[in-house]
Chain A
Amino acid sequence: MNQVTFRWRSPLFNIVQALITLAVALLMGALVIQVSGKDALGAYRTLFTTALGSRLSIADSLLASTPLIFTGLATAIAFRAGVFNVGVEGSLYLGAFAAAWVGFTWTALPGFLLIPLAFLAAGMVGGVWGLLPGYLKAYLRVDEIVTTIMLNYVAILFTSYLVNYPFLAPGLANSMSPKIVPAAQLPRLMKPSQLNLAFPIALLCVLALWFLMRRTTLGYELRMAGDNPIFARWAGMPVARTILQVMFISGFLGGLAGAGQVLGVNYRFVDGFSPGYGFDGITVALLGRNTPLGSLLAALLFGALRSGGSTMELFTDVPRDLIRVLEATIIFFVSAQFTFEFLRRRRALQDLSAS
């Protein structure tokens, strides 16, 4: 019977499934627009042209995708290993501050040293931050969902303290750090868009993570432990060590997301600057089925929706909130799928043990 209950899914199947999810979400969105007495087709046309209609709008979409690629990857690797790290937002804030600090402190360094250093500092800080809940889970079996959610507040409020007191930029009304030196600012790729070097770095991370998950022993271990931790233990895999490594990498990528925004867009650390990139990473990873490539595609999609949505508001009477409705619908379907899959798998296991 186990041939039946555990059906194998080809990659094509996953893509088709994701596309169906997207189509249904767009349909629901259309319904919402139409019901509120507006022109759905027109809104979507505007959305499409503002997101992808010109070189510049494409650049803006890619810009909006950049932090989502990082946080999507950060979440995907953790989820794939069965570690439910929802603390990417915290790593992002700490990483962002670390990058800014390098950028406004080590002012004498040239750019080709300063930029890698800033990214590295951001990643390390974010990664070490991830080790804390990782350690609690691996060795003391403390539930990581709870700890990572709580630690987000600690990280966000701590960086808020830093830029309100010790590192408050003099002469400014808002809570933000001093500006980073020009040498630390990431080069723009397609002016006047703000699209910058962080985007290709994010693409490199996609490749690196694909390689890590498919071609390294750590990747093998994390996939096995994610599928079936009991099996991993019986096979003698170092499950606790794997959790620590995964949490470090996840936090590292979260830190890079923060660095990308600071070095490429804001040029300083601004209190509360993230609209929830870290949490968006969860949606991105789930829609991308916890694979690096899938997360990239999902991040590009959400980036386009966001970038298009904010401009759409300017040209039509459809509010930007519609984009939120679309995203929420996608999240709804993805999580429904996820729950369904989970229940089916549990049923299958029960059937197996009962037969």
Chain B
Amino acid sequence: MPYLEMRGITKIFPGVVANDRVTLTVEQGEIHALVGENGAGKTTLMRILYGMYRPDAGEIFLRGRRVEIPNPQAAIALGIGMVHQHFQLVPSLTVAENVELGRESRRFFLVDREQAIARVGALARRFGLAVDPTARVADLSVGVQQRVEILKLLYREADLLILDEPTAVLTPQETQELFQVLRRLRDEGRTLLFITHKLGEVLALSDRVTVLRRGRVTGVLETDRTNEEELARLMVGREVKVARRLQAASIGEPALRVEGLVVRDERGLTAVNNLSFTVHRGEIVGIAGVEGNGQRELLEALAGIRPLVQGRIWLDGREIHHLPVRMRREAGLGLIPEDRTQEGLNLLASIEENLAAVHYYRPPLSQRGLLHPAAISGFARKLISLFDIRVTSPTAPAAVLSGGNQQRVVVARELAADPSLLIAAHPTRGLDVGATQAVRRELLRLRDRGLGVLLISADLDEILALADRILVLFRGQVVGEVPAEQATQEMLGLMMAGHRPETLQADQEAR
């Protein structure tokens, strides 16, 4: 008898079948991976299991008994726990307080702190989770905070733990540590459901895999008997050509030069600290780093959205740090922002209007303040065919496009301005496998055409596949620069945690 069985689950949102007769079987004490592209229905299925959505059809069996899960409280009562992508912790409280929150051990109406610390500490030791129960959550790294989330579930005696893309926010080392924890939990008899779209992780961690594509199950596999290619094919439905840089860069003149850049974040804290680097024409420079180490502030400062505290920026030898966004763009800066749905596009406006957004104010699209609708349509049509954007109508709002096509709109618009330097921030985030490769191939083509590309990405695979040089950002500073040929996942991972390359070498020599 399987531990969990979801049978014929169907969930329909207006216009979209998110889950179409999905059957998922999970055995007691296994790590089961649920993989699929964005929009394949993984999150919907898990939300149904956790009581956040009601299915339109289908049944759920737990240990052979049919169960109704109307809300998350019911799920918790049944021993189902979920670690969300966004942690649900109170930063100002300690680990022990967070774990016990809502279920405090009491003595005469007072919270018994001593006992809480002791119990949480014991629980952490039992499952091999290195966490100090007296530490304040705000002071903990993301990886440790995640362990607190897991601890919370264990404290509530969850037998089935659902982890929604748990590695998205972790460094490679933290990911390894998480995997150890998860294996230990499995060995202790817990059952784990692991949602991801990273195939390497599936192969490294899981016992069995269920693959979803467009709301349907396309495969249930033993991890030992499958490989990355097969999984990718099941996810995408066809063979996928992988983009990878082949020849070395033929480096030209400096396109972007940054010197002594200091930028503050919203709270007035220094987010980018004395940063200097150069991007030449014909090369891709990758900025690697765990998110929240100054990437966002760097991007905004380069774009002209955020003021500099100090420092200078040159584009093609011309100083631009005092210029507003539009004049920087006119000087040759192209921008693919982090969040295409907010910063990159106006989802309510038409595709045409989105494509015209950085060109509309100049001839031939307008003259003396008057728009030329025909010229704008023509301009849009040209870009749509040039960049192979799949649209029903150029006057439909950008919101109707798929993520990949939305990103194509952004890329097409930025390249139509013929920039000398393109800044691409997380250009493939949230895109499916096919669209991801298309965007990466485009970036490589641009490099070969002699553009400078600054690639900001939290995805090490992406950085390693594309960048000619890699800068690792940690707490607003570059901890090291590595040529692509010498870079490895492990080395970059350590640097992302703040280790300098010199000390890495020294460590190795000492051994």
Q: Which residues of A contact B (CB under 8 A)?
A: 1-8, 214-220, 223-224, 227-228, 230-238, 349, 352-355
Contact = CB atoms under 8 A, between A and B. Distances in A.
Contacts of B347: 2, 6, 227-228
B327 to A, nearest CB: 8
Contacts of B87: none
Nearest to B300: A234
Nearest to B340: A231
A230 B14 contact: no
Contacts of B345: 231
A1 B16 contact: yes
B404 to A, nearest CB: 12
A230 B324 contact: no
Contacts of A230: 342-343
B133 to A, nearest CB: 30
B305 A6 contact: no
Nearest to B329: A236
A235 to B, nearest CB: 4
B42 to A, nearest CB: 9
Contacts of B18: 1
A217 B325 contact: no
Nearest to B347: A6
A224 B353 contact: yes
Contacts, number: 105
Contacts of A349: 341-342
B38 interface: yes
Contact of B346 (A1, A2, A214, A227): A227
B371 A216 contact: yes
B39 interface: yes
Contact of A234 (B325, B360, B400): B325
Contacts of A5: 399
Contact of B403 (A2, A224, A228, A234): A2
B368 to A, nearest CB: 9
A2 B342 contact: no
B85 interface: yes
Q: What 8 A-B pairs come out closest when comparing CB atoms?
A: A6-B399, A236-B326, A236-B325, A235-B357, A227-B348, A234-B343, A228-B346, A231-B346
Interface size class of B (residues with CB under 8 A): 35 or more
A57 B341 CA distance: 51
Given A3-B399, A217-B361, A217-B369, A228 B348 contact: yes
Given A230-B343, A231-B345, A224 B396 contact: no
Contacts of A353: 339, 341
B38 A231 contact: no
Contact of A217 (B305, B341, B371, B400): B371
29 contacts: A3-B399, A4-B16, A6-B347, A214-B371, A215-B373, A216-B370, A219-B371, A220-B353, A220-B371, A223-B353, A224-B357, A227-B348, A228-B346, A228-B348, A230-B342, A230-B343, A231-B342, A231-B346, A234-B335, A236-B324, A236-B325, A236-B328, A236-B329, A237-B357, A349-B342, A352-B341, A353-B339, A355-B39, A355-B43
B303 interface: yes
B15 interface: yes
A170 to B, nearest CB: 48
A3 B13 CA distance: 11
A355 B339 CA distance: 13
B135 interface: no
Given A6-B400, A215-B370, A220-B371, A233 B342 contact: no
Nearest to B324: A236
B143 interface: no
Contacts of A227: 346-349
Given A224-B346, A234-B305, A234-B325, A355 B369 contact: no
A233 B305 contact: yes
Contacts of B366: 217
A234 B329 CA distance: 10
Contacts of A234: 303, 305, 325, 335, 337, 343-344
B397 interface: yes
Given A3-B400, A224-B349, 12 more contacts: A2-B399, A4-B13, A8-B396, A8-B400, A216-B371, A217-B361, A227-B349, A235-B357, A236-B327, A349-B341, A353-B341, A354-B86
Nearest to A236: B326
A215 B372 CA distance: 7
A217 B353 CA distance: 11
B62 interface: no
A271 B70 CA distance: 62
A3 B342 contact: no
Max chain B Cβ within 10 angstroms of own Cβ: one of A220, A224, A231, A232: A231
Given A1-B16, A354-B85, A231 B370 contact: no
Contacts of B402: 3
A234 B14 CA distance: 32
B358 interface: yes
Interface in B305-324: 305, 324
Contacts of A354: 43, 85-86
Contacts of B397: 6, 8
A352 B38 CA distance: 11
B324 to A, nearest CB: 7
A235 B371 contact: no
A205 B457 CA distance: 50
B13 A1 contact: yes
Contacts of A2: 341, 347, 399, 403
Nearest to A235: B357
A256 B403 CA distance: 46
Nearest to B356: A220
Given A6-B397, A236-B325, A218 B369 contact: yes
Contacts of A231: 342-346, 357
A227 B361 CA distance: 18
B358 A6 contact: no
A231 B348 CA distance: 11
A46 to B, nearest CB: 43
A1 B39 CA distance: 7
B326 A237 contact: yes
Interface in B349-405: 349, 353, 356-358, 360-361, 366, 369-371, 373, 396-397, 399-400, 402-403
Contact of B14 (A4, A223, A355): A4
Contacts of A3: 15-16, 399-400, 402
Nearest to B343: A234
A238 B326 contact: yes
Contacts of A1: 13, 16, 18, 39
Contacts of A8: 396-397, 399-400
Contacts of A352: 341
B403 to A, nearest CB: 7
B115 to A, nearest CB: 36
A348 to B, nearest CB: 9
Contacts of A232: 346
A233 B339 CA distance: 13
Nearest to B337: A234
A320 B353 CA distance: 47
Contacts of A217: 360-361, 366, 369-371
Contacts of A218: 369
A223 B346 CA distance: 10
- Chain A CB within 10 Å, residue with most, of B305, B349, B353: B349
Contacts of A224: 346, 349, 353, 357
Interface in B462-480: none
Nearest to B339: A353
Contacts of B344: 231, 234
Contacts of B353: 220, 223-224
